[in-house]
Structure 1
Amino acid sequence: MTTTLSPADVAAHEAGSYVRQSPPAPKPQRTVLESFSAGAPRGQWPAESFAAEQRRNGVPARVVMDLESDSFLVIVEAVS
């Protein structure tokens, strides 16, 4: 048995099947302030200490891990 869709059913199907895409969000620009080896002695967090010092000085610094270089980066982000 073959079913034939009415023009209204075809229009409804096409409207429901449409995938809407929004423009990509702007990628933040990162400025690396300092890089620290991930192999710091146990109990010491030099990247976190440096970032905290920057934040005390008014710089919105944060720490991220760079897996490729196995290091912690202290960065500042600015949306471009």
Structure 2
Amino acid sequence: MNGRTVLERFPAGGPRGSWPAEEFAQARRLEGQMAEVVMDLTSDAFLVVVRDLDLTE
């Protein structure tokens, strides 16, 4: 997925919307990971992702 690793998926149709994904991402950021939430329109889900490090740069 374009140099990203999916840590967790949350259904977009859940009653709390993106909040569970945002809370999960925040917990990962507190652990030192650069987690972010993106929307996958194809699967109708919020994804918590981290960018893969490119060690060749």
TM, length-normalised to structure 1 = 0.60
Cα distance per residue 1:8-64 (max 9 Å; x no partner):
xxxxxxxxxxxxxxxxxxxx5110000000012147610000000000000100000
Q: Within 2, Cα distance between the matches of 1:65 and 1:43? A: 11
- Aligned residue pairs total 53
* Equivalent of residue 72 in structure 1, options 18, 39, 46: 46
Alpha-carbon distance change, 58 to 68 in structure 1, aligned in 2, over 3 angstroms: same
Flag structure 2 segments of 5+ consecutive residues without an equivalent.
Answer: none
Greater share of helix: 1
Greater share of strand: 2
Flag structure 1 segments of 5+ consecutive residues without an equivalent.
Answer: 1-27
Alpha-carbon distance change, 36 to 57 in structure 1, aligned in 2, over 3 angstroms: same
Q: Within 2, Cα distance between the matches of 1:45 and 1:79? A: 27
Q: What SS does the aligned partner of 1:76 have? A: strand
TM, length-normalised to structure 2 = 0.82
2:39 matches 1:59: no
Aligned-pair RMSD on alpha carbons? 1.8
* Structure (1 or 2) with the larger CA radius of gyration: 1
**Percent identity, aligned pairs only?**
58
Question: Greater relative contact order: 1 or 2 (C-alpha under 8 angstroms, separation 6 or more)?
Answer: 2
